[in-house]
Amino acid sequence: MKRYIDDYKQKGLRRQLVDSIKQKGITDENVLAAINNIPRHYFLDTAFESIAYEDRAFPIGEGQTISQPYTVAYQTQLLEVKSFEKVLEIGTGSAYQSCVLGELKANVYTIERQKKLFDEVKKFAFKSKYPTLRFFYGDGYEGLPTYAPFDKILVTAAAPHIPQKLLSQLKIGGKMVIPVGGGNVQRMLRITRVAENDFAEEVFDNFSFVPMLTGKNS
Ligand code: SAH
């Protein structure tokens, strides 16, 4: 049984982590505050607790990972989230990124295709701190048509191409941040829906994500 204790030691390590991602170029104070507020060690197996505040990805089971804090901060900064915006996240994983969005007071709809990870996250005690998070089991390529349109869409797995169904679920003026590329390296893109049939694309740095897969996995 995992114990949820956040003491001065973890808080100190977390401040160091925030300093290091600041040095790597994250400037959004709200994003930095969110990283500073969330006990990342709660999201990892007890075995990884002592290294939870290193700026790197870790395994969370089912061959999946919790993203590197710098990557989480980078994507969140690009998303320019404002309070009460409707944000769709593809790839719940550990729900660490979802909680960062929760800290920014977004209304978060997050989808996971791996049943086991979805079930883990559902019983996750810490999530009660974020009443604006809703968890869905499904295929992120489909998005959530029932809840569309969204102000923002965040994809946290490597998409081989830009999923058209997700574009169609963006509000006019809405933005999607998505790592695109089939190999080991993806380009971070930010796509803005300028008008019904007009999308503007900006290209940012390279990252390495686990692949965005099709269908659900029970
Ligand atoms: N945001 C997560 C990162 C998880 S890694 C975190 O902060 O921990 C990417 C996740 O995307 C994995 O859990 C993987 O199972 C999930 N995934 C991959 N393809 C998907 C799809 N088509 N729909 C929903 N989730 C998907």
pLDDT in tens, 71-83: 999 999 999 999 9
* CATH number (domain holding residue 184): 3.40.50.150
For residue 176, is it within any domain? yes
Asked if residue 25 lies in contact with residue 188, where contact means CB atoms within 8 angstroms, the answer is: no
Asked if residue 86 lies in contact with residue 133, where contact means CB atoms within 8 angstroms, the answer is: no
Site to probe by mutation for ligand 1, drawn from 213, 216, 217 as the one with most ligand atoms within 8 Å of Cβ, is 213
Which residues have CB under 8 Å from 37's CB, separation 6+?
A: 103
3-state secondary structure (DSSP) of residue 138: coil
- In angstroms, the CA 212 to CA 90 distance is 9
For residue 212, is it within any domain? no
Nearest CA to ligand 1 atom 2: 93
Residues with CB under 6 Å of ligand 1 are: 64-67, 90-91, 93-94, 96-97, 111-114, 117, 139-141, 156-157, 210, 212-213
For residue 149, is it within any domain? yes
Verify whether residue 67 is a known catalytic residue.
yes
For residue 133, is it within any domain? yes
For residue 97, is it within any domain? yes
- In angstroms, the CA 79 to CA 101 distance is 10
Asked if residue 188 lies in contact with residue 205, where contact means CB atoms within 8 angstroms, the answer is: yes
Q: How many domains does the chain have?
A: 1
Taking the centre of ligand 1 as the mean of its atom positions, its distance from the CA of residue 60, in whole angstroms, is 11
For residue 2, is it within any domain? no
For residue 126, is it within any domain? yes
For residue 47, is it within any domain? no
Site to probe by mutation for ligand 1, drawn from 207, 212, 214 as the one with most ligand atoms within 8 Å of Cβ, is 212
Asked if residue 165 lies in contact with residue 142, where contact means CB atoms within 8 angstroms, the answer is: yes
Q: What is the pLDDT of residue 127?
A: 63
pLDDT in tens, 87-123: 999 999 999 999 999 999 999 999 999 999 999 887 7
Domain that holds residue 172: 57-207
Confidence category of residue 11, pLDDT binned at 50, 70, 90:
very high
